[in-house]
Structure 1
Amino acid sequence: MAPAPPPCEEKICASKNDKMRAMFAAVGQPKPAPAATAATSAECPPDREELGRHTWTLLHTTAAYYPETASPSQQTLAEQFIRSLGELYACSHCAADFRSEVEASPPRLGSREEFCLWMCEQHNAVNAKLGKPVFPCTLARLDARWRDGGARCDEEGAESSGPAID
């Protein structure tokens, strides 16, 4: 089981899953919320899991479409983007952990392949801390997930989620 995150007062640090488990444990059986007052998740701010999933989608997709060979200017912009995320990310303990990981393993930005593999390694480091499975860090697998999608994504009405890399 993953260790509990450090205390954080911001709403973004909360986890809907943790709140639900605590509520059900405290009250017993779940009771449905009244339809008239229940807010849909689209009306509520994201929790850290939802924010994390969407952030990883942005990061992996950015890496997947990074230039095959990046210019010095593109490399500088990419590094600023990554470092800014570590400073400005809404979940403070997530941001601190990301900064620490980036310091320990700076972004590799010379090419699309380097950036994709580095991003996968960063994501796997987070997943390992959370007790989640890791994803194979090969360019072919990463492109299949974040860039090409393959035939399964070309079908009418196909979901865009692909194989999980949460």
Structure 2
Amino acid sequence: MPRRQHITVLMILAVSAFLGITFVLSFRSQPEGTRHPDYTPSYHQQVSVDEGLLKGVATAPKLENATLKAELGNAAWKLLHTMMAKFPDKPTEDDSAALKSYIHLFARLYPCGDCARHFQKVLDKYPPQVATRSTAAAWACHVHNVVNKRLKKPEFDCSKIGDFYDCGCAEDGVPAKGKKEGFTPLTLDDKEGLTRGG
């Protein structure tokens, strides 16, 4: 009997030693800073945005204050036009999908409910054009004019959009002048028209 107890104790010690060594080695293979017990790893997950989420119903309440509505509208258009001016000349599929998703989510979450619902109708009729920077900028100008027409505001000459919404691109501390490497100043061609879809 005593011999069996010694074998059992030795087996328990061997298994404990094996588990202890495995535990220590698992922490040694982790990058510095991730060994803290409170560390929560962040896993890169593919985010898939479905049509239901993109084109869901806008739920913001009506914005009654006309001054706030106008300020919000001016800031929103500046953001959208500047975003189009900074969009790549030759976007990847990922760039195009991201911009399209952003525009639809922007319309859905816009803080003026009536404005959001109207803009969603505009997007249904004129889907975002994201093939190039020029088509994105022309599309944004066109839908801006659709909204301006509805609000009885003057329409903007879209051939001059590049003069109003520059990308602001520059090297560190050096203002942008002319063409930069990898960036072509925004110009709209007459042959680039708006089409339905991508």
Give the TM-score taking structure 2 as reference length: 0.52
- Aligned CA distance change for structure 1 residues 103 and 10 (closer, same or farther; 3 Å): closer
User: Does the aligned pair in 1 maintain the 2:108–2:116 contact within 8 Å?
Assistant: yes
User: Once the 2 structures are TM-superposed, how far is the Cα of residue 81 of structure 1 from its aligned partner?
Assistant: 0.6
User: Once the 2 structures are TM-superposed, how far is the Cα of residue 148 of structure 1 from its aligned partner?
Assistant: 6.8
Equivalent of 2:71 in 41, 50, 53 = 50
Equivalent of 2:134 in 88, 101, 113 = 113
Pairing 1:89–2:110 present:
yes
Identity of aligned residues (%): 30
- Aligned CA distance change for structure 1 residues 88 and 121 (closer, same or farther; 3 Å): same
1:23-42 alignment to 2 at 5 Å? none
**Gaps spanning 5+ residues in structure 1: where?**
1-8, 17-46, 155-166
Take 2:105 and 2:121, find their aligned partners in 1: how far apart are those partners? 13
Moved runs in structure 1, 4+ residues, more than 6 A?
none
User: Does the aligned pair in 2 maintain the 1:13–1:92 contact within 8 Å?
Assistant: no
**Gaps spanning 5+ residues in structure 2: where?**
1-59, 169-174, 176-198
User: Does the aligned pair in 1 maintain the 2:129–2:135 contact within 8 Å?
Assistant: yes
Equivalent position of 2:162 in the other structure: 143
Q: Of the two, which has the highest radius of gyration? A: 2
Matched positions, count: 110
Q: CA RMSD in A?
A: 1.9
Give the TM-score taking structure 1 as reference length: 0.62
